[in-house]
A and B are shown apart, each in its own frame.
Chain A
Amino acid sequence: EDQVTQSPEALRLQEGESSSLNCSYTVSGLRGLFWYRQDPGKGPEFLFTLYSAGEEKEKERLKATLTKKESFLHITAPKPEDSATYLCAVQARGNNRLAFGKGNQVVVIP
C-alpha cells in the first residue's frame, strides 16, 4: 500500500525565517508526487506535480524538490500569508488515485 509521511507535523516560523517541509513516501512505481496547500475550511489547492527524481518546481516563495524516497517543500523568507497546511500526495503507476500524508501545519508569525 502506498504510504506518505510528512514531517514536522507543525511548524512555527518567524516572518522571513526560511525552512523546509519533508514528505517521505513508499509507492510501487511513482507516477507523480503532488503538493497542495489547504487553508482552514477550504479544499486543498494544487501547487506542484513532480514526476521524476531530480525535478524541481518553484512558485513565488515555494520550491519543491524530489528524490527517489522523499520530497521537500522549501519556504524561502515566508510571510504570514504562507500560513496553511501543506499536503503531500503520491500517485502510483497504473492508477489515478492519490495517497495523502497528514500534512504539515505551518504558522508564520509577523
Chain B
Amino acid sequence: EAGVTQFPSHSVIEKGQTVTLRCDPISGHDNLYWYRRVMGKEIKFLLHFVKESKQDESGMPNNRFLAERTGGTYSTLKVQPAELEDSGVYFCASSLRTDYGYTFGSGTRLTVV
C-alpha cells in the first residue's frame, strides 16, 4: 500500500511569493489532515477534510492560507503571499477512521526568506 505522498519535500521562497504544497493521501482514505510544525514548537493542527468538504478549519492561521481537496482525492495548501513566520514543516496525514492513528507523509519543509 502506497503511503501518504507530499511534494515538494523542500521549498525555499521569498517573502511575498506564493507557494502551493500538494498531498496525495492513501487511496480510499476519506479523512485528510494538514498539520504544521514551526521551529521549536509542537506540531499544530491546520484543517481536516472529509472527502472534498472542509470538516474543521479552526487551525488555519489566517486568510493567506487556502486549502482545497479536488474530488476528494489529493489536496493542495496554498500560501499567498508568504510571510517569514510561515516557515516550518507542513505535514499531511490521512485515515479511514477519525479515532485511530493517522498515516503521515514525510512533510514539506518550507523556508520563507
Contact = CB atoms under 8 A, between A and B. Distances in A.
B74 interface: no
B42 interface: yes
A105 interface: no
B70 interface: no
Interface in A20-68: 31-32, 34, 36, 41-49, 51
A46 B102 contact: yes
Interface in B16-69: 31, 33, 35, 41-45, 48, 55-56, 58-59
Interface in B73-106: 91, 93, 98-106
Contact of B31 (A4, A44, A49, A96): A96
Nearest to B107: A43
A46 B103 contact: yes
Contact of B42 (A4, A42, A46, A51): A4
Contact of A96 (B41, B48, B91, B107): B48
B56 A43 contact: no
Contact of A87 (B43, B44, B58, B59): B43
B43 A44 contact: yes
B55 A96 contact: yes
Contact of B101 (A41, A46, A97): A46
Interface residues of A, number: 27
A51 B100 CA distance: 10
Contacts of A103: 42
A98 interface: yes
A32 B101 CA distance: 10
Given A95-B56, A101-B42, A42 B106 contact: yes
B4 interface: yes
Interface of B: 4, 31, 33, 35, 41-45, 48, 55-56, 58-59, 91, 93, 98-107
Given A43-B91, A43-B105, A89-B43, 7 more contacts: A42-B107, A44-B104, A46-B102, A46-B104, A97-B58, A98-B43, A100-B44
Interface of A: 4, 31-32, 34, 36, 41-49, 51, 87, 89, 91, 95-103
